[in-house]
């Protein structure tokens, strides 16, 4: 049979990037392309003990159908924690539990986007979210990211020009892939512009807890008195991505629609994973665990940056991030980025070509993305040496 697929799914073509990633998916490759947490930071013993206790003490709750909004004690705990620690959440806001922050992006899209609506995103931005918007046949408008976040003048221009904008998507902390963090001033400007233009903000904050230096900056949601921000959070980076537990905090009216959307997608998220997370947050010292993760990643980041300086200094430019998982490197204009990435892959080092993160893959960039959480220290040292040698070939 000749399958006639939907327009939305046909828009998601396998890309040149996927082809490169395929080459590097073998076990031999040094993994700078992924965004996986380091295996050594998983609290596996604690999770084993919690899972066991839950299945002995509350087996029916863990194994039976649950409500779509999520496990009530976990929802309350998250809401309380966000309020106490970050002043995030107002009377009108509600939490729902999702399959990672990815599903928040999916549900926000489902609830707000008609086909052809525009989503303003950072350029570059997270490929998983861009693909999600594409799967709703949205039009993507990328606004360049500077070292202190989105270019606000260009954002304003886009909002003035395009009357079809429904949503602004931003990762304000240690943005994926640029590593940049939006300044407080820009966060406030972005909020004011969205309010003026009646546009929803989708604030995605998977890396907020991964700050290695500098001071926390208030989230956009923390000054959302008007109820225009959907905040997406995740435990993937601080406990376990394989458990797929994230959450959304948004005005109850929006949350109700997202709940209806989630019911039609997957009914609810697995109870066992939600209950493990709930007990973990209650029984264990999350702050100490995050401190431990920060120490591991901070060391890896500095190691990678130091090696980049010694092996590729003068051939690439990058901003040393204050947190997160990624370093965004721009090659000297004399080097073709895609050729560089292919040659790196041929030498068993996987990096992601910057075009993967653009609103349109034809958008120009000479950057590539490095991840430092997945590789071992030894892999970081050897991998950057290899990239240095690859780079030399092009000069």
Enumerate residues 6+ apart whose C-beta is below 8 A from 393: 343
Least gap, CB of 210 to a second copy (angstroms): 16
Specify burial of residue 64 (Cβ count, 10 A radius: 0-12, 13-18, 19+). exposed
The distance of closest approach from Cβ of residue 166 to a second copy in the complex, given in angstroms and rounded to an integer, is 8
- CB closer to a second copy, 149 vs 375: 375
CB 87 within 8 A of CB 222: yes
Q: Which is nearer to a second copy, 336 or 360 (CB)?
A: 360
Cα distance between residue 393 and residue 251, in whole Å: 54
Closer CB to a second copy, 157 or 266, in the complex: 266
Residue 197 CB, shortest distance to a second copy, in Å, is: 11
Residue 240 Cβ, how far from a second copy at the closest point, in Å?
4
Do 289 and 238 touch, CB atoms closer than 8 A? yes
Task: Pick between residue 55 and residue 84 the one whose CB is nearest to a second copy.
Answer: 55
Q: How far is the CB of 130 from a second copy (least distance, A)?
A: 9
As measured in angstroms, the least distance from the Cβ of 260 to a second copy is 5
The nearest distance, CB 102 to a second copy, in angstroms, is 5
Q: How far apart are CA 103 and CA 258, in angstroms?
A: 10
On whether the CB atoms of residues 246 and 234 are closer than 8 A, the answer is yes
Under 8 Å between Cβ of 223 and 191? yes
Q: Which is nearer to a second copy, 176 or 181 (by Cβ)?
A: 176
Task: Using the minimum distance from each CB to a second copy, give the nearer residue, 236 or 366.
Answer: 236
- Residue nearer to a second copy on the CB measure, 42 or 86: 42
């Amino acid at each position: 049979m000749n399958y006639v697929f939907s327009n939305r799914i046909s828009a998601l073509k396998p890309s040149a990037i996927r082809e490169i990633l395929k080459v590097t998916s073998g076990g031999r490759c040094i993994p700078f392309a992924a965004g996986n947490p380091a295996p050594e930071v998983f609290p596996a013993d604690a999770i084993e003990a919690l899972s066991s206790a839950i299945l002995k003490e509350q087996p029916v709750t863990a194994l039976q159908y649950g409500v779509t909004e999520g496990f009530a004690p976990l929802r309350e705990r998250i809401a309380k924690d966000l309020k106490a620690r970050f002043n995030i959440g107002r009377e009108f806001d509600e939490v729902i539990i999702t399959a990672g922050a990815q599903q928040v992006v999916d549900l926000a899209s489902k609830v707000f986007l008609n086909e052809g609506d525009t989503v303003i995103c950072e350029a570059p931005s997270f490929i998983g979210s861009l693909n999600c918007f594409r799967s709703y046949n949205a039009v993507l408008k990328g606004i360049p990211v500077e070292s202190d976040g989105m270019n606000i003048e260009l954002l304003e221009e886009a909002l003035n020009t395009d009357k079809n904008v429904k949503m602004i998507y931003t990762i304000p902390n240690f943005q994926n892939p640029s590593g940049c963090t939006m300044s407080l001033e820009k966060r406030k400007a972005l909020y004011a512009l969205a309010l003026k233009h009646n546009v929803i903000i989708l604030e995605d904050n998977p890396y907020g807890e991964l700050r290695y230096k500098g001071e926390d900056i208030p989230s956009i949601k923390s000054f959302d008195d008007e109820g225009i921000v959907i905040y997406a959070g995740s435990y993937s980076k601080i406990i376990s991505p394989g458990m797929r537990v994230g959450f959304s905090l948004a005005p109850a009216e929006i949350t109700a629609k997202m709940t209806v959307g989630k019911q039609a997608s997957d009914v609810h998220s697995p109870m066992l994973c939600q209950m493990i997370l709930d007990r973990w947050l209650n029984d264990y010292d999350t702050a100490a665990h995050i401190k431990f993760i920060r120490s591991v990643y901070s060391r890896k980041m500095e190691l990678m940056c130091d090696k980049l300086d010694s092996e590729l200094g003068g051939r690439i430019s990058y901003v040393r991030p204050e947190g997160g998982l990624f370093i965004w490197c721009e090659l000297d204009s004399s080097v073709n980025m895609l050729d560089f990435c292919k040659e790196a892959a041929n030498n068993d080092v996987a990096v992601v070509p910057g075009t993967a993160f653009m609103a349109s893959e034809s958008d120009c960039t000479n950057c590539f993305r490095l991840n430092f959480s997945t590789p071992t220290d030894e892999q970081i040292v050897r991998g950057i040496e290899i990239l240095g040698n690859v780079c030399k070939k092009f000069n």
